Amino acid sequence: MPYDHRKTAPRTLALALAVAGSCAALAGCGASQASEASPTAGKGGTQTPPPAVSAATPSGPSSSAAADGQQTRTPLPDSSAPQESRSLAGRTVVVDPGHNPGNFRHSREINAKVNIGTGRKECDTTGTSTNGTATEAAYTEAAFTLDVSHRLRDLLTARGAKVVLTHDADRPWGPCIDERAEIGNKAGADAVVSVHADGSAVGHRGFHVILPARVSSGAADTAPIVGPSRELGENIADRFARATGTSPSNYLGAGTGLDVRDDLGGLNLSTVPKVFVECGNMRDPKDAELLTSAAWRQKAARGIADGIATYLNG
């Protein structure tokens, strides 16, 4: 889809991206590829994230550009234009990888109830997974969310943002949903995005962004964040669709790619603008094909990063 504000990249960065782009085409090249090397990493729970230094390299945007095949053959994605590269300086973004690969081994802890303002709810869940195939193990949502979150962190850091992850599989389980909200609040985040993939019926396809409903009960008071969170979510939905070429959910949101919920502790307890992104449906084979593709996950991360940047920069 043509964009109306594509910008021309300065020659030097364009060259750097072109070189990195050919690098991205080779397996095992670059931090993002390294984290992709083990799609069953959910088992380990100790997956090492890409080194922080990768945030300063152009490998993130370039690999998405190289993988952009069917969508566009233009040399650079518009919003990865270098003149925007430091546009998030001074901003804090909290990235919340949904679930934790270790939750599977800690049912007692994650089933313990926590207070979400409107009531009590389980600390967390294990998350869903793809169905897997005869030759390929199921890909867990927790592994997916960590991978996309790493990519998102790198893209945002490259644009100058301070990025805080709520966890990095560096703890055996959790955090619980109330703690996830608290991390965003304490960071004084300008925006928080919780990364997820759905586990719905076959045939249910597409992404959706979950926005906080207006809730005022106990420790939950979302009135101040409902408006800005919607703005954040609309920008992410728009940019996610553009970056990935995928459509909004065909099973909820009436084609808008937006859903509003009052039952998520991570949203209810947030005092800063926050949304959940459900990137696709892991239980649908066609969506699963996308979700298990490293190139597609890079596009997904870019779409989310673009949405955050558009929200923060107006």
Q: Which is nearer to Zn ion, 36 or 278 (CB)?
A: 278
CA distance 174 to 59: 30
Burial (CB count within 10 angstroms: exposed 0-12, middle 13-18, buried 19+), residue 201: exposed
User: CA distances (Å), 242 to each of 78, 174, 267, 302, in order?
Assistant: 11, 32, 25, 10
Binding site for Zn ion (CB under 5 A): 98, 127, 196
- Is residue 122 annotated as a catalytic residue, yes or no? no
Facing residues of 208 across strands?
Answer: 278
In the bound state, the residue with its beta carbon closest to Zn ion is 196
Facing residues of 140 across strands?
Answer: 129
Q: Please give the backbone phi and psi of residue 215, each rounded to the nearest 5 degrees, phi first.
A: -130, 135
Q: Which is nearer to Zn ion, 143 or 215 (CB)?
A: 143
Q: Which is nearer to Zn ion, 78 or 284 (CB)?
A: 284
Q: Are 164 and 94 in contact (CB under 8 A)?
A: yes
Q: Which is nearer to Zn ion, 98 or 184 (CB)?
A: 98
User: CA distances (Å), 299 to each of 61, 153, 180, 207, 285, in order?
Assistant: 9, 13, 25, 13, 19
CA distance 37 to 54: 16
Q: Which is nearer to Zn ion, 127 or 303 (CB)?
A: 127
Q: Choose the catalytic residue: 141, 182, 278, 289.
A: 278
Which sequence positions are flagged as catalytic? 278
